[in-house]
Amino acid sequence: MNQQESLLKSWIAFLPVSFGLFMVLLDVSVLNVALPRIAEDFNAKMSDLQWILNSYTLTMVVLLVLTGRLGDMYRRDRLFILGMVIFTASSFLCAQSWNIESLIFFRIIQAVGGTILSANTLAIATELFPAGKRGTVMGLNGILMASSFTLGPIIGGWLTTHLSWHWVFYINVPIGIISTIAGWFTIPKLGAREKMPIDYLGTFLLAIGLGSLTLGIIEGQNWGWSDEKTLACFVISIPYLIAFVFREITYEYPLLDLSLFRVRNFTVGCLASSILFFGMSASIFLIPYFLQGIKSLSAEQAGYWMIAMPIMNTIVSPIAGRLSDKMNPKYLMCLGPLLFAFGMFNLMDVRIEVTYWEFFVMLIPLGIGNGLLISPTLNVLMASIPIEKAGVANGTLRSMNTLAQAMGVAVGGVLLTNRMKDWIPSYGNQIPDPGTMNLLFYLAVQGKPVPLIGMVEGFMNSFAFVFSTMLWLPIFASLLTLLFLSGEEHLNSLKANRT
């Protein structure tokens, strides 16, 4: 078989894997749109709705490293099939939920399947494609990661409006069945490169440590950052994470091989992408509140307003990924965050009266910047580690990025609501949502415009404040990459693999 035929077979095998990853990433943003309808059907409280989302995030953060390691120890192709079956079956069960408790439980099961898929996607790509040919496939991963955030509200809004909220889960079933069957016949035998026992104690320590830390981060704004429950989560996480590090250093068969962090490009790639995800999550998550709350758009319309980001990412990511196999990737990875920071700078001055096309242009640097960083970073990061550790490296990266995203949303919410208190004394910790804004619009029509004016002015000022604060993070990620990433090392490793 010649190289061209081998690459074609690899692409055919990776298609069901990419569909699986897209389902996992899309599931969060699709579900956000359906939450109001779910609340109506189940008479659910806001805390219940939050746990539909939080249970998914918590489960993924806790299990990502373990499921990545399992792919290194057992057949990764069969593990992928298992994850797809779990995710597909649990999606059907989520749609069949009879109350809020059953939905939360099935979401946890769904997250188990999603974690297996997410923690092994990059590792599968690393094994399917030879060094020097992975840039384009890493670009595809970058497209899926970026577009899921924006396409979710469009898909979820259409399904919820024209069918029902159940269909945000039902839509996964046919895709999952097709991907499972296709994966069974097309994905070759992968993984099972490291034979070792599972580190059960390390798994327990990491689960408690990361689980407590993540719970404190995502619930801190609701409980209050000085609340005893929030502080308890942080206090509990510290000794468990320290104990986990000591366990991994001293145990013969560690769950997380900390020697990975001695690899400079792996460490720099993890840090740079996590910093960008933190800054992006802390600011970009406010855009739907601006579009749906201040501009009174529907969730589906808001998705169309944000479409510039995935469009530009779709164009740039595969090009940047392919270029990272042919030129020093450091240049792309430094330029990307700077363009992203420029896009954030543009959004600092967004006006309430902004038109669709003005907003479209403002978002273009964000999409280009994301594409220039993510796909080369994934390529460099996965090329820097031994292939037998691809799974745990994949799981570690996804765990760090997911935790960074959760932290970013929490910090962004704190920055916004604290700034709002300068405009509205005794303002709580809730971001202005479409329901609140509609009520204020109604009061304004009735001749009481002051609350609406105060809320709008306060939000727009706070919105600009968050973006002005967070734009320094992509700049820092660019500087970190410039100073510490070795692009020459990446290119030399590609040459060595070709010879």
- Residue range 340-364, pLDDT digits in tens: 999 999 888 888 888 899 999 999 9
Element (H, E) at 497: helix 487-498
**Polymer length in residues for the chain:** 499
Q: Is residue 75 classed as helix, strand or coil in its secondary structure?
A: strand
Cα dihedral across residues 235, 240, 243, 249: positive or negative: negative
What's the mean pLDDT in 167-188? 86
DSSP conformation letters of 46-74: HHHHHHHHHHHHHHHHHHHHHHHHHHHHS
- Distance (Å) of CA 198 to CA 253, 391, 412: 8, 14, 37
Quick check: 378 pLDDT over 60?
Answer: yes
Quick check: 499 pLDDT over 60?
Answer: no
What's the mean pLDDT in 275-304? 80
CA-derived radius of gyration, the chain: 22
**pLDDT, tens digit, 9 for 90 and up, residues 141-171:** 767 766 666 677 777 777 777 777 888 888 8
Residues in Cβ contact with 274 at an 8 Å cutoff, skipping those fewer than 6 apart: 400, 401, 403, 404
Q: What is the dihedral of CA 437, 442, 445, 451, to 10 degrees?
A: -50
Quick check: 86 pLDDT over 90?
Answer: yes
**pLDDT, tens digit, 9 for 90 and up, residues 301-322:** 777 888 888 888 888 888 887 8
Amino acid letter for position 421: K
Most confident of 62-66, 67-71, 336-340: 336-340
Let me know: does 41 contact 160? Beta carbons within 8 Å: no
Q: What angle do CA 353, 293, 460 make, to 5 degrees?
A: 55
CA end-to-end span of the chain, whole Å? 19
Please indicate whether residue 365 or residue 452 has the higher confidence score (pLDDT).
365
Task: For residues 94 and 3, give the distance between their C-alpha atoms in angstroms, rounded to a whole number.
Answer: 43
- pTM of the predicted protein model: 0.80
Residue 279 CB burial class (10 angstroms; 0-12, 13-18, ≥19): buried
What pLDDT score was predicted for residue 451? Answer: 60
What's the mean pLDDT in 98-117? 88
DSSP conformation letters of 242-302: HHHHHHHHH-SS-SS-GGGGGSHHHHHHHHHHHHHHHHHHHHHTTHHHIIIIIS---HHHH
Quick check: 192 pLDDT over 80?
Answer: no
Q: How confident is the model at residue 90 (pLDDT cuts 50, 70, 90)?
A: very high
Maximum C-alpha span of the chain: 77
- Distance (Å) of CA 63 to CA 118, 257, 389: 10, 16, 17
What pLDDT score was predicted for residue 89? Answer: 93
Angle of helix 308-323 relative to helix 329-347, nearest 10 degrees? 160
Residues in Cβ contact with 282 at an 8 Å cutoff, skipping those fewer than 6 apart: 408, 409, 411, 412, 415, 466, 470, 473
Task: For residues 483 and 324, give the distance between their C-alpha atoms in angstroms, rounded to a whole number.
Answer: 18
